[in-house]
Amino acid sequence: MRPPLRIWGVVGFLILLHFGLHLSLGLSESAPDLLVVALLIAAKEVDIGRGAGLGFFLGLLDDAFSVLAFGANTFAMTLVGMGGARTRDLFVGDSLFFLTTYLVLGKWMRDFLHWVAVGEGLRESFVDTMLIQSPISAVYAGVVGLVVIAISGLGWETVR
């Protein structure tokens, strides 16, 4: 049983760090998407309703600066939160392979849903966005997520 306080502490810290890096320091894409990492970590611990709620809230925060396609982040994060919470019922185990796939696919799926939701007029080409840029940032987020899980001692022994 993982201590819930520690999980929520890590999730809260990741959210603060995400906005600190992206917003306060203006690091943009050179900083990983810690918001989706936080959501994926939290979603594994809660039911589908709470996963969707957390995704909705975090997406809305991300959308506060999105003039071009307001709501696209909210839509994407809500669905990722729902999907993340659903994995608890579908998969058992915390192997390194599973966690890596979970984090990388979760981030890629978030980018894909965002790409779909922004609309035809604003979206860049599928190949460039989803097959070149997004996999790189997904791996980046995945690696950072694994490091966070290992350092914070969230109970996934296979990672540490």
Partner 1 sequence: MPNYKSHANGSRKAQSGLVSFGFFVLSVIALYLPAPSQDEVASLLRGSLLRPFVLAQEGLVRRGIHAADTEVLQRQLDSLEVVIANSNTLSEENGRLRGLLTLSNRNPAQYVAASVIRSGTPGSESMFMLNKGTRDGVTNDSPVIMGRGLLGRVLEAQATRSTAMDWTHPQFAVSAMTEDGSIYGLVQASPGRFRESDRLLLDGVPFQEELEPGVTLVTSGLGGVYPRGIPIGVVIEGSDAQEGWKRSYWLRSFVSPGEATHANVLVSQDGELRESNSWSEGDSVVPGPATLPEESASGIRNTEASTRQ
Q: How far is CA 149 from CA 19, 52, 145, in A?
A: 19, 22, 6
User: For partner 1, which stretch binds (CB under 8 A), given 5-13, 79-87, 140-148, 151-159?
Assistant: 79-87
Instruction: Mark the segment that binds partner 1 (CB under 8 A) among 4-12, 14-22, 90-98, 101-109.
Output: 14-22
For residue 155, the minimal CB distance to partner 1 (Å) is 23
Side chain identity at 63, as an amino acid letter?
Answer: D
Measured from the CB atom, is 81 or 142 closer to partner 1? 81
Angle 66-111-6 from CA coordinates, rounded to 5°: 90
**Residue 120 binds partner 1 (CB under 8 A):** no
Residue type, 2: R
Return the residue of 67, 92, 97, 120 that touches partner 1, per CB under 8 A: 67
Among residues 52, 50, 77, the alpha carbon closest in space to that of 63 is found at: 77
CA nearest neighbour of 79 among 119, 39, 46, 118: 39
Give the separation between CA 78 and CA 139, rounded to whole angstroms: 21
Q: Which stretch binds partner 1 (CB under 8 A): 4-12, 18-26, 91-99, 151-159?
A: 18-26
Nearer to partner 1, 111 or 159 (CB): 111
Binding mask 24-63 for partner 1 (x = CB under 8 A): xxxxxx-x-x-------------xxxxxxx-xx--xxxxx
CA distance linking residue 117 with residue 130, whole number of Å: 13
Instruction: Report the Cα–Cα distance between both ends of the chain, in Å, rounded.
Output: 17
| Binding piece for partner 1, criterion CB under 8 A, among 19-27, 90-98, 140-148, 149-157 | 19-27
Binding residues for partner 1 (CB under 8 A):
19-29, 31, 33, 47-53, 55-56, 59-75, 77-79, 81-82, 85, 114, 117-118, 121-122, 124-125, 128
